[in-house]
Amino acid sequence: MDECTFDRSTLERLVKLETKTYMKFSEMDRALDLAREGLEHKLEGMNQFQKRMDKLENTFATKDELSESKDRFRKELETVQKFVWIGLGIILAIEFIFKVMVK
């Protein structure tokens, strides 16, 4: 076997390179941890927002309920309109009768 020998300066450079490499990997691990924490925080916020939307969704009227309410409102409006027209007819009749009686 060939024996590999390094002089002192080469060993020092290898140790420095190893140290720098270790530091870079440590920095990358820390950056990944920070990114993971940030992503988890964002996902938590999104989950809370989704829960609020789910709660709100239960308070909205369905299409069928809105259609039913609209139909009921239309019928009530027609009834009120009939009373108004009847009331106007009565007023006109009374006015006509007074005019005839006054002459």
Give the pLDDT band (50/70/90) at residue 60.
Answer: confident
> Cα separation of 67 and 69, whole Å?
5
pTM: 0.47
Residues 87, 80 contacting (CB under 8 angstroms)? no
Q: What is the pLDDT of residues 1-57, one digit of tens each?
A: 456 677 888 889 999 999 999 999 999 999 999 999 999 999 999 999 999 998 888
**pLDDT in the model for residue 2:** 55
Angle (nearest 5°) at CA 58 between 55 and 60: 120
Q: Which residue has the tokens 């969704």?
A: 57
Q: What is the pLDDT of residues 81-92, one digit of tens each?
A: 999 999 999 999
Domain locations in the chain as residue ranges: 1-60, 63-103
